Structure 1
Amino acid sequence: MLLPSRYQDAFSRNALPPLALWPELAFDLPGLRFPDLLNCADELLLTGTAIAGDDALAIVSDREALTYAELNGRVNRIARVLRDDCGLQSGERVLLRGSNTPGLLAAWLAVVKAGGIAVTTMPMLRAGELGKIIAIARPRLALCEQALAGELRPCLGAAGFERIVEYGGADAELEQLAGTKSPEFPAFPASQDDVCLIAFTSGTTGQPKAAMHFHRDVLAICRTFAEHRLPRCERPVFSGTPPLGFTFGLGALLLFPLFFGGTVALPAPTGPQQLAEAVRRFGITHLFTSPTAYRAMLEGENLSLPSLKVAVAAGEHLPADTALAWKAATGLDLLNGLGATEMLHIFLSTEAGAASNGGLGTPVPGFTAALFDAAGAMIDGPGEGRLGIRGPVGCRYLNDARQSDYVVNGWNITGDIFRRDADGCYSFVSRADDIIVSSGYNIAAVEVEQAVLRHPDVQECAVLGIPDPKRGKVVKALIVPKPGVDPGDALALQIQNFVKNTIAPYKYPRAIEFVAALPRTVTGKISRNISAN
């Protein structure tokens, strides 16, 4: 049963799926009891400040550093801008667009503390992709980094989207407005089960799905994965590469550091091999990135990382040879984790200091895992099947019929095939759909096909994932060119650049093969399975 919402804007409460389609939730751990009124941003800021102290570093980047006192002041000033200058009503969605900077972290906290719902987007998304998100989440307002506003401006006027407030420069509107505000702001008293964030994922169609999470969910992942899987140490420093638009990055670079009273280090984006230098420069203790990045770091000359206490790998399958090579080079075992946007963060992982060899260990305390066969029957003991998860958080799509695909008989069915051994440890077998996981990014094959097919010289296209030693998989396009078109390297490069400018650049086909015809099923549909072979 839901508590009464405290929000003025009822959009998110009305968009929740029927309770009958929710997963069963479990709050068995002692730390998973929450007060009726709860603002997770305020709670985490209070927790971090109490542990670290006002003068301790909260966020540090190559350009600026914020103490906990300064972070609290900035968050409160932005919250006042949202309420006083932007007319934010509680329960309104606010789109956030920016790279991983202190400004984006402060903006997220301010939106939630003021009673808004944070809709954080990937910085690489193009206008068309942002438009889909806006059509679903219906934000009236966006806080956007100046350098990234170009792709967002074409969306103004659509689906009630009215205003962009830019930040990230001395002359930016948000900084100008915030500079006039008081550094004090009373947190909005939300209900524990009011929505505080909407996170987007993509299915095999490329149509985004919006997962809604409550204030209590944010604290639940801190009190499960962070509390029980991440080691504590004096003066922890968190860092990593996932964008805040990924819930993996939200936890790693904002929620967990505050929960631990630690520091977030945000080095300028560079290649994975420069990540090792950043670990040494900032004294990073808790590192979060993809197996692809760890493989790239292994190619560097210096992997001496004396400050590092734990290295978390997630976002894609961790090959055993990568786990073993990392252990040999650094003396540390990778903490291998599996999470999902629908589950907010990691629910299955190895333990810090335990050898993973590519396996995913056991359910995080607070969660239960099960395997199901093709008929939906639960598998007892060792076996292989579709993974189901229960815990204190779960899937709640925003007005989406696919809710009944993800939640079956109270279980969150992730779409992954797993194997469980006699000790109850789980290992990944494969995805159950046509998502291509490349360098930790989920890429819908159909969405890439649609982008390729918009090129004027392309007749037909099939997209699939092929194994790659560095990225796990890469996107490959099998293309039938139009008659009379020369299928050479020049055309391949043109198509790659065309796709980069049509959808997010990381989705482009790194491999292109021109073919005379595409294989088809007996019904005439293009067969990716045959194409892959």
Structure 2
Amino acid sequence: MKLSTASVDQKPKTRPIDHILLRGEPTRPALDGRSGHLDFAELESTLGHLAAWLQGFGLPPGERVASWVAKGPVAALMPMAATRAGLVHVPINPLLKRAQAAHILSDSGTRLLIGTQARLDTLEEGDVPPDCQAHSESDTACAMTGGPTLPPSDAEPDTLAAILYTSGSTGKPKGVMLSHANLWLGAVAVADYLKMTPQDRTLCVLPFSFDYGQNQLFSTWYAGGCVVPLDYLTPRDVIKSIERRQVTTLAGVPPLWVQLIELDWPPEVAAQLRRLTNSGGALTPTLVARLRALFPNADLYPMYGLTEAFRSTYLPPALVDSHPDSMGRAIPFAEILVVRPDGTLTDDNEPGELVHCGPLVAQGYWNDRARTAERFRPAPEVSAYGGMAVWSGDTVRRDAEGLLYFVGRDDAMIKSAGNRISPTEVEESAMAVPGVLEAIALGVPDPRLGAAVRLLLRGKPGVDPTLLENDVRGHLKQDLPNFMQPRDIRFVDAFPANANGKIDRVAVAREHGE
């Protein structure tokens, strides 16, 4: 039997996540940006002061502390300062609005909220739980530069460290419970397969409330490198920061890459990047080709992950050109199985459900046993790890080389005249047509078929929609079977995005799915 798995270590070594700064050379840069420059020794000292300030509120161990702040030293240090103080960190995406923040505060039972004053001012009566204190981020300024300090913690690996709330595209956000081991091993794994070094500088454009965004910090610091937080207003801000801060590593999601490749990059700035990573949505072969051409010196790492297990797979750069549509293989510490409904392994190229086993699996959903039981279930019998696994709900296939390919989510598949159609397959085919920047396929009611395919396109500026539609239809007829052909094609100026920068497919379906 063939497994798609990384090397299995039943008891990998872990440390509390707040120890991660101790790995860097004390005098090497650790944090750089608009808020100033700190080396590892200075950042560790600041962390100790912030943790002592949090501990001073006298909350019992395990209570939740939320942060709702823009990127900067507080946002970067809160994940570790909270755990050093014996608390559980609940980051709130700064792009979220009052009602969404209020849900997270209530659902998590937050006892302490640190937020920028402007965000706190948006909260209304009843938004903050009665036993929760709210403090402005400015209150931390003095605490972080002097006064009491806390030494590194001695937390056990399975101790709850963070609750990360998903974007909530299908209902209200749910909180994923992550342990110290989850966070530490995620940092070790990513730093390892990205081959990061102390000379690397990572531009952090993704929200720290996003597991992919938070890992930008931890994996870079594990490698002894420097992080550069950036809340950008326009994609051109990204170019400016890469040039000004000597950035070598950039993590993004597909909508950001689409924006970046539309810009005019100074060749010397584009050549500065050594590493690009992608998650939060698949890269199309066309987008892969454009990124490779624009950033000739950068290794490209397509990745697949889900908050419930952090990260599952990555595609090594050496395979990107030959397998541009592959998800790759399991990352370190992950065992990835492709199984049938009965839990047995699929054959090569047979679609099945991706199941993630091993120490990166989260502890379930906070305060939600029902949804935890749906997603977190005992691992298939063939698992080398056993225990609880994440049954992703994503359909994938594994080829004879052990590489994985995304087919679609079961709840997103279009059922048309008895056929199951993967939106991803239709979208990738459309994206191969010159002039198409983004594509979304969805099912719409059809009295004869049950559901028909509707294809939404965003074209390059200045391209004639009528001519582009003809080109797309011609390509799809050559590339896809008849039952996958779209009933209609519509053009949009932009697709809505969720707080993590990914296309909000639920919002797209709500607007265009009737």
Q: TM class by shorter-chain length?
A: 0.7 to 0.9
Question: Following TM superposition, by how much is the alpha carbon of 1:95 offset from its aligned partner in structure 2, in angstroms?
Answer: 0.6
Go from structure 1 to structure 2 and tell me whether the alpha carbon gap of 1:64 and 1:466 turns closer, same or farther (over 3 Å shift): farther
Q: In structure 2, what is the Cα distance between the partners aligned to 1:288 and 1:432? A: 28
Would the aligned equivalents of 2:6 and 2:329 in 1 still touch at CA under 8 Å? Answer: no
Alignment correspondent of 1:290: 253
Q: Secondary structure at the match of 2:110?
A: coil
Q: Could you say if the C-alpha distance between residues 165 and 428 of structure 1 is closer, same or farther in structure 2, counting changes exceeding 3 Å?
A: same
> Match for 2:200 among 210, 216, 236?
236
Q: Taking structure 1 as reference, are residues 30 and 467 closer, same or farther at Cα in structure 2, changes over 3 Å only?
A: same
Q: Which residue of 1 aligns with 2:181?
A: 216
Does the alignment pair 1:66 with 2:38?
yes
Question: Shift in Å at residue 156 of structure 1?
Answer: 5.2
Alpha-carbon displacement from aligned partner over 1:464-517 (angstroms, at most 9, x marks no partner): 99644589xxxxxxxxxxxxxxxxxxxxxxxx9xx99xx97979999999xxxx
TM-score norm. by structure 1 comes to: 0.72
Letter in 2 for 1:248: Y
Q: Compute the displacement of 1:88 (Å).
A: 2.9
1:204 and 1:433 in contact (8 A); partners too: no
**Number of residue equivalences:** 426
- Match status 1:338 vs 2:304: yes
Q: Which secondary structure does the structure 2 equivalent of 1:287 belong to?
A: strand
**Correspondence for 2:272:** 307
Change (3 A) 1:276 1:202: closer
Distance (whole Å) between structure 2 residues aligned to residue 255 and residue 47 of structure 1: 11
Change (3 A) 1:507 1:283: closer
Task: State the shift of 1:529 in Å.
Answer: 11
> Could you tell me which of 210, 223, 238 is aligned with 1:275?
238
Distance verdict in 2 for CA 1:326–1:101, change over 3 Å: same
Counterpart CA distance in 1 for 2:69 and 2:87 is 18
Q: SS of the residue aligned with 2:215?
A: helix
Distance 1:465 1:83, change over 3 A: farther
Aligned residue in 2 for 1:418: 396
Report the residue type matching 1:47 in the other structure.
R
For residue 105 of structure 1, the aligned residue among 76, 79, 93 is 76
Name stretches of at least 5 consecutive residues in structure 2 with no aligned partner.
380-388, 414-422, 428-441, 443-452, 461-493
> 2:190 maps to which residue?
225
Letter in 1 for 2:29: L
2:340 counterpart residue number: 373
Quote the Cα distance in structure 1 between the aligned partners of 2:459 and 2:155.
44
Taking the aligned partners of 1:512 and 1:47, their CA distance within structure 2 comes to 43
Read off the aligned partner of 2:37 and give its amino acid letter: A
Are 1:333 and 1:352, in contact at CA under 8 Å, matched by a contact in 2? yes
Q: 1:123 aligns with which of 77, 86, 94?
A: 94
Q: Which of 44, 47, 71 matches 2:23? A: 47
CA distance in 1, matches of 2:347, 2:78: 46
Percent sequence identity is: 22
Where does residue 245 of structure 1 map in the other structure?
209
Deviations 1:35-59 (A, max 9, x none): xxx5221x202112xxx22x22211
Kindly indicate whether the alpha-carbon contact (under 8 Å) linking 2:67 and 2:115 is maintained by their aligned counterparts in 1.
yes
Q: Distance in 2 between matches of 1:288 and 1:173?
A: 31
1:57-456 map, 5 Å = 57-84=29-56, 86-152=57-123, 154-155=125-126, 157-158=128-129, 160-167=130-137, 172-179=138-145, 181-182=147-148, 184-201=149-166, 205-227=170-192, 229-252=193-216, 254-302=217-265, 304=267, 305-331=270-296, 332-343=298-309, 345-355=310-320, 356-374=323-341, 376-395=343-362, 396-400=364-368, 401-410=370-379, 411-433=389-411
1:363 Cα deviation after fit: 0.9
Task: Name the residue aligned to 2:488.
Answer: none
**Which SS does the other structure have where 1:208 is aligned?**
coil
Give the CA RMSD over aligned residues: 3.6
Cα drift, residue 353 of structure 1: 4.3
Give the Å deviation of 1:62: 2.4
User: Could you tell me how far apart the structure 2 residues matched to 1:70 and 1:88 are?
Assistant: 27
Match of 1:5 in 2: none
Length-normalised TM-score, structure 2: 0.74
Contact 1:303–1:330 (Cα < 8 Å) also in 2: no
Kept in 1, the 8 Å contact 2:83–2:161? The answer is yes
Which amino acid in 2 is paired with 1:257? T
1:142 maps to a residue whose letter is: L
Conservation of the 8 A alpha-carbon contact between 1:333 and 1:354 = no
CA contact (8 A) 2:197 2:225 kept: no
Cα displacement (A) at 1:204: 6.0
Q: Residue 140 of structure 1 contacts residue 163 of structure 1 at CA under 8 Å; is this kept in 2?
A: yes
Could you tell me how far apart the structure 1 residues matched to 2:506 and 2:169 are? 20
In 2: Cα distance, 1:26 partner to 1:300 partner: 38
